[in-house]
Amino acid sequence: MSAAPAALARGLGRARSAERSVWVGWGGVALGFLAFYLALPPLLIRSAVPSLVVSAAAVAAGAWTVGAGRRRLGWGAVVAGVFGAIGAVAATRSAVGNLENVVVWSALVAAMLRYATPLTFAALGGVVSERSGVVNIGLEGMMLTGAFFAIWGADQTGGWVGGLLVGMLAGGLLALVHAVFAISLRADQIVSGTAINLLALGITGYVFLHDYGNQGTPEGLPQAPDVHLPLGGIPVLESLQNLNVLVWLSLALVPLVWLAIFRTPLGLRLRSVGENPRAAATVGISVLRTRYLAVVASGMLAAMGGAFLSIGFVHSFSQNMTAGRGFIALAAVIFGKWRPGGALAAALLFGFSSALAQRLPVFSPSTATLLQALPYVLTLVAVAGLIGRSTPPAADGVPYTKE
Amino acid sequence: MHALLGENGAGKSTLMSVLYGLYRPDEGVLRLEGEPTTIDSPRRAIELGIGMVHQHFMLVPVMTVAENIVLADEPRRGLLLDVRAAAERVRELSDRYGLAVDPYARVGDVSVGTQQRVEILRALYRGADVLILDEPTAVLTAQETAELFKILRALTAEGKSVAFISHKLREVLAISDRVSVLRRGKKVATVDTAGATEESLAKLMVGREVLFRVAKEARATGDALLRVAGLEVDDDRGLHAVRDVSFEVHGGEIVGVAGVDDNGQAELVEALTGLRRPLAGTIEVAGHDVTAAGVRGKLAAGIGHIAEDRHRRGLVLDFSLSENLCLREYRKPLLSRLGLLSPKKMNQRAGPLLEEYDVRGGSCDTLASALSGGNQQKVVIAREIAQEPAVLVAAQPTRGLDVGAIEFVHRRLVEQRDAGRAVLLVSLELDELRSLADRVLVLYDGQIVAELAPEASEEEFGVAMLGGGQREQPA
Amino acid sequence: MSTPVTVASRLSGYLRGGGIITPLLTALVAFLIGGVVVAITGANPFSTYKAIFDGSGLNWLFPWISSTDRQTAALNLQQTLLLTTPLILVGMAVAYAFRAGLFNIGGQGQYLVGSFAAVWTGSTLGGLPAVVHVVVAIAAGTLAGAAWGGIAGVLKATTGANEVISTIMLNYCALWIGVWAFGLGGPLHSSSQKSVPISNEVLQGAKLPVFWGDAELQGLHIGFFVSLVMLALFWVLLNRSVAGYEARAVGFNPDAAEYGGIDAGRTFARVMLLCGAFAGLAGTLDVLGWQFTVATNDIQNSSAGIGFLGIAVALLGRNTAVGVFFSSLLFGALLNGTSVRNLDPAVFPPELAGNLTLIVQGLIVLLVSAPVLVTSVLALRRRGARGEPKEAEA
């Protein structure tokens, strides 16, 4: 029986080193970025040697973290180190002019935030719905509905707030359809979510063409305004000076949704319904009502993401304009482990890859496109559990019956 | 403290679920403190001061103890949940009734005994005056049971009423003041515990004095067909479920495996039938080592398996009867050639089996889900016996069946024994084991703690099944 | 006693649901609601549906129409069958997965990858004799699709990765790989059209022969027969083969299948491999039969693509071979009948009609998703002819 104390001691050691491995892991990730950063403007070190040393340190830190049991973070650091090295070598070999053209940090950060915003909204919606135990493949459709009806509403009401509300209402209604089928009729949630996407595509396309014809939405419809902050000239914060109000709203919603899910009575009930609906029912919680609420809220959140696209970003609508962003949001939900903060981090990562893809064509137009696939590849890796498994709420996707 | 006693399936749990508003009664009146009331939802039951501790805990493993307890009746601070107040209240309650828990621990991380305390605390937190416990000791160790009883006594001393559902005589005698006995959904009697004995209660519970015996002749046993040595098996959670188990089953005998549920029976059966890979030890069939073989290998070696749960494992309910009957041999050249199945041959195989085993309510093309439980089990048994296995492993083969079907199953098992096969019968029903088996192994905490003759007294069995009087070893 | 919950077992009520009445009713309700939408927006639903029907060329089957009408109808019907061909295949790609308890949303990605491989091999390898070239290109496209589906299957088998998520992600991976490969500066970008993001054209020797209609006017190619043969094979696979028996057993009840000695993981991998092959073949036949090139615009516009339609086809066809054929025909006709070329704009604007197709498709999928609806329809018809099986006490 001497094995037991030894195992216990090892376990305790691991528990103590857990804190440390988090720091080392994140340090590794930071080093990986630093390696790349050294070779970029404004520092622009024209030799790859310092970067390679730093990235080697990043890989080492990552390997240690993996060894300490934090696989996802550890591999993240290793990957950051490798990419840092590759990026730095590539940067030192390309012309300074090109580099200064592409790597405009303030513009990159601003673009990242803009690309991340629709994803953040919809991913928050996904988190809310799946935490209650209803899988929402229909995020894409709810987003698209929000996008169209926000601009349609802005047209009808003559103000962007009215537009946003109309968009949210439409998204909520579509979500209600999903809720009726997924919750009350105990439909297969994936199938009914797929149906929601098809319906949204058809309905928005139909009404759009019927109301606006081939000319598309007219110019000069009300738009969600930008927020001007006097931050010009300050190195990093500069990028935040001209962002849309909806960008800020999405960022503000992340802690709010987190609070709602993890620190309010309603959130506690929501999670209990998603984890063990029968347990929730035995203490008197209405599983159906809670799930309805969550799904409709999720539709409204997703619709806000769509509304940002149409009245905050592009200022027009075109058929199928969400083009798969709802599925990236779904990916962000999974990659972010069903947590609002995690979903935001994933949305920012995916947003950054989009922003980079947008600016990279200076070097190689075709490779930039491949960057667009990054969110999907990363999510594939995440669901496969290669870098630490993402575990959904226990009752996610299971229709509830009273027996 | 009132105990409710009855056999498996006597209606105890259903009755209590009605009290807690989970099911609605079809008719009848319920009185609480003399007032007729209706309880149509758990919420109403809580309002009336009824709390329930479920047999399968109704807890959320990923949430903390405090979160589980305050769920649906949370202390608030403004719009937010007051986590600190919740923990404080839990601590108060646990101090008052002597139920030690850590409010901030995750429920999934604490022991089963602690989870049960969490359930009790949850009922108390909601101000329950009447506490219903549904087979609370089924999942507990002897030590935990003793502790639970201490808690329950403390609760009654505080003026709470406790309804205690069980089918264990000794526990009922030890803890309760009065006992109601249920049999087949009807109350047979209510007696004071003071004047009752194990025998008198058992008589009320079973409704007959003598054990129901299957006509069975003594037989000389043959060679050891199944030999298990030093078997070690882990369960799904990676915990040691079967520990150093060794035994033999000879041709022409039925060996029973007794034990309280969840003491390693399922894992033992799965290891024997190839569904689970053993960590160590050997399994031999008629002298051949088949330890490492999978399902197909074990089957080919001659191990048949009547699965414990015919809906989950024994049958594909959406398959036709002939498809189900061929589940174990569809790959044999008899039924398929070059990867193609012959429905005609499958029916030719299935038809006579359905007749021989008197499966009623369907023919070859009927879906298995359309049959009654008894007939479904006949299909499973027909399929397994048709393989003519040297060793037949029967796991709870009569669960949920009516008397007629049970008799059928028993007769078939004895037939197999008389045909010189080795039968391993795993059951939770002591009566069944004592009437069918030639000898009975008692499994406790994954180990064989005793081998008893079927004639041994209930007392002896009970002691062995609860750990044979040995003290809990420190983990 | 809890039975395991799989897509297949949840949909099994619908699968069994007596004969063709349920799917017919489902389609009818969907078209009815579609008609209401048409009426609300001011058009006549009857003449609209009539125009769509005529546009699909299905009136060719009527003996009484005039010979000039018959000529137009023949042209239209060729186009409808041209669309039916890949629909049958992607329908099977979804249906077979459903039968094994898997949800293959990845039909679109598998279709795309198949078409990429087909256009690549079809536009190169010029030295091969015609028949060999066709066979090589078909094999390449089919295998590519199989590999793409196989990724999801193998991931499910080895790591338990949810196939719904992985196939969605694989769809978009395929999409961006296509946009990259055939886009400007991409490795497979056209050598003749420098400013158009499109692939090279399939060489003459790799094109599928046309057997009905004019090859210049997109006549019906022999791929139609290929998909019919595959449909027959699908029936055998599902109902008469060991592999199909294992797939269905795993789909209905993985635990019981394991008890029967079936390795669920290996079955998942095998099933997804086959599903991918079906969808890949669909993309291949489209490229070799009438599209001849792959343009990145089309790739990016695939939210309502052929591959996604496979879901509706499979569900409406109750995941059976015969059902898949008829629902492919229905959706092929609907797609073609509402196309800009075939729908009379005086009756109903074709742009709107395309979206009407999406609405009808969505409604069908929605109605099929709820087994309760289907079983209640069945219960009405039977009025409890069969008692519920007795549930044993837990």
pLDDT at C394: 28
pLDDT at C195: 85
Chain B hits for C236, Cβ within 8 Å: 340
Looking at chain A, the whole-number percentage of residues with pLDDT higher than 90 is 41
Q: Identify whether the C-beta of residue C107 lies closer than 8 Å to the C-beta of residue C93.
A: yes
pLDDT confidence band for C304 (50 / 70 / 90) = low
Cis peptide before A230 (omega within 30 of 0): no
Average pLDDT over residues C151-167: 89
d(CA C3, CA C256): 10
B297: nearest CA partner in chain C? C261
Average pLDDT over residues A296-319: 94
Average pLDDT over residues B256-269: 86
The answer to whether B247 faces chain A, any CB pair under 8 Å, is: no
Q: Which of A25-34, A40-49, B121-130 has the lowest mean pLDDT?
A: A40-49
B123: nearest CA partner in chain A? A283
> To the nearest whole angstrom, how far is the Cα of A346 from the nearest Cα of chain B?
23
Chain A hits for C300, Cβ within 8 Å: 323
pLDDT at A369: 79
pLDDT confidence band for B12 (50 / 70 / 90) = low
Q: Identify whether the C-beta of residue C206 lies closer than 8 Å to the C-beta of residue C134.
A: yes
> To the nearest whole angstrom, how far is the Cα of A403 from the nearest Cα of chain C?
10
**pLDDT for residue B154 is more than 50:** yes
Average pLDDT over residues C54-79: 87
Q: What 3-state class would DSSP assign to B303?
A: strand
Residue C70 burial (C-beta neighbours within 10 Å; 0-12, 13-18, 19+): middle
Which structure tokens are listed for C120?
Answer: 């690549």
Q: Which of A2-11, B310-319, C206-215 has the lowest mean pLDDT?
A: A2-11
pLDDT at C375: 62
> To the nearest whole angstrom, how far is the Cα of B424 from the nearest Cα of chain C?
18
Average pLDDT over residues C127-131: 86
b/e for C277-316, b at 16 or more Cβ within 10 A? bbbbbbbbbbbbbbbbbbbbebbbebbbbbbbbbbbbbbb
Average pLDDT over residues A385-391: 62
pLDDT at C67: 84
* Residue among A188, A365, A379 minimizing CB distance to C369: A188
pLDDT confidence band for C192 (50 / 70 / 90) = confident
Residues with Cβ within 8 Å of residue B122, at least 6 apart in sequence: A283, B51, B68, B69, B71
d(CA C175, CA C180): 9
Which of B9-23, B414-428, C77-91, C203-217 reaches the highest mean pLDDT?
A: C77-91
Contact B59 A279 (CB under 8 A): yes
Interface A:B, Cβ pairs < 8 A:
65
Half-sphere exposure of A341 (CA within 13 A, CB side): 4
Half-sphere exposure of C188 (CA within 13 A, CB side): 25
pLDDT confidence band for B210 (50 / 70 / 90) = very low
Mutation site for A-interface testing, chosen from C12, C165, C198, C361 by largest number of A Cβ within 10 Å: C165
Q: Identify whether the C-beta of residue B397 lies closer than 8 Å to the C-beta of residue B377.
A: yes
- Supply the DSSP symbol for C303: G
d(CA B85, CA B449): 47
pLDDT confidence band for C383 (50 / 70 / 90) = very low
Of B379 and B4, more confident = B379
pLDDT at C2: 38
- What pLDDT digit, counting tens, does each position of A291-306 carry? 999 999 999 999 999 9
* Residue among C4, C241, C257 minimizing CB distance to B340: C241
The answer to whether A394 faces chain B, any CB pair under 8 Å, is: yes
Average pLDDT over residues C40-53: 88
Which of A110-119, B72-81, C340-349 reaches the highest mean pLDDT?
A: A110-119
pTM, to two decimals:
0.84
The answer to whether B22 faces chain C, any CB pair under 8 Å, is: no
The answer to whether B373 faces chain C, any CB pair under 8 Å, is: yes
d(CA B277, CA B403): 36
d(CA C58, CA C302): 26
d(CA A194, CA A91): 43
**In whole angstroms, how far apart are CA C380 and each of C112, C353, C373?**
43, 34, 11
pLDDT at A363: 61
pLDDT at B55: 75
Contact C259 B327 (CB under 8 A): yes
**pLDDT for residue C333 is more than 90:** yes
Q: What average pLDDT is seen over chain B? A: 83
What radius of gyration, in Å, describes the C-alpha atoms of chain A? Answer: 23
The answer to whether C239 faces chain A, any CB pair under 8 Å, is: no
B69: nearest CA partner in chain A? A283
Q: What 3-state class would DSSP assign to B425?
A: strand
- Supply the DSSP symbol for C206: G
Mutation site for A-interface testing, chosen from B62, B68, B82, B125 by largest number of A Cβ within 10 Å: B62
pLDDT at B190: 83
pLDDT at C380: 56
**pLDDT for residue A184 is more than 50:** yes
pLDDT confidence band for C3 (50 / 70 / 90) = very low
**pLDDT for residue C150 is more than 90:** yes
Q: Identify whether the C-beta of residue A221 lies closer than 8 Å to the C-beta of residue A315.
A: yes
Q: What torsion do the CA atoms of C277, C283, C288, C293 make, to the nearest 10 degrees? A: -140
Q: Which of B15-29, B98-112, B395-409, B447-461 has the lowest mean pLDDT?
A: B15-29
pLDDT at B306: 92
In the stretch 292-351 of chain A, residues with CB closer than 8 A to chain B read none
Contact C389 B294 (CB under 8 A): no
**pLDDT for residue C324 is more than 50:** yes
Looking at chain B, the whole-number percentage of residues with pLDDT higher than 90 is 22
ipTM: 0.85
Which structure tokens are listed for B91?
Answer: 């601590």
- What pLDDT digit, counting tens, does each position of C223-273 carry? 999 999 999 999 999 989 999 999 999 988 888 998 888 999 999 999 999
pLDDT at C13: 57
Average pLDDT over residues C323-349: 88
d(CA A29, CA A54): 11
Q: Identify whether the C-beta of residue C198 lies closer than 8 Å to the C-beta of residue C119.
A: no
**pLDDT for residue A11 is more than 50:** no
**pLDDT for residue B220 is more than 80:** no
The answer to whether C177 faces chain A, any CB pair under 8 Å, is: yes
Average pLDDT over residues B266-271: 92
In the stretch 119-148 of chain A, residues with CB closer than 8 A to chain C read 137
B293: nearest CA partner in chain C? C261
Nearest alpha carbon to residue C181 among A366, B311, A306: A366
